[in-house]
Amino acid sequence: MFKNVLAESTPTTHHVSPIKRRSLLLIALSTGALAACGDDSRRNTNINLAPKASIDRFSASAGHLFKRSADSTLPEVNAAINLDRAPFITQGLGPTGAHVVYYNLDVQSRPFLVTRATTTFGA
């Protein structure tokens, strides 16, 4: 009366593409890593009770163009910085020769080396 369809069907093989296989592996590893994380329910999330970080942008080790040892008018440790006042704002000439105002920021770039498979920062 009832036909056994499963017994008569031919076995089917499923092909999973390498990209999909990598994606599934990444999802499985990520899920495992998240499951291994500790319990954060006891962690203090009140920002008023968190330890304060000390920021000194103009120390001898952090500054490049702007060092407090060379210019005592620079803001103190943890003080707010007004970028719209000298020495952080500069007047100059733009590419067309017009007068422009721009920010003079103390930027230290870290050299990096690009190779075929990896990028290494901080030479």
The model's pLDDT over 2-19, given as tens digits with 9 standing for 90+, comes to: 555 555 555 555 666 777
* Number of domains observed in the structure of the chain: 1
Q: Which tens digit of pLDDT belongs to each residue from 29-77?
A: 777 666 666 666 667 778 888 888 888 888 888 888 889 999 889 999 9
Question: Which residue type occupies 121?
Answer: F
The pTM of the whole model exceeds 0.75: no
| Residue 102 counted as domain residue | yes
With contact defined as beta carbons under 8 Å apart, do 88 and 105 qualify? yes
**CA 57 distance to own-chain centroid:** 19
| Residue 43 counted as domain residue | no
99/112 Cα distance (integer angstroms): 34
| Residue 11 counted as domain residue | no
Where helices occur in the chain by DSSP H, the ranges are 5-8, 18-35
Domain span including residue 85: 55-123
| Residue 96 counted as domain residue | yes
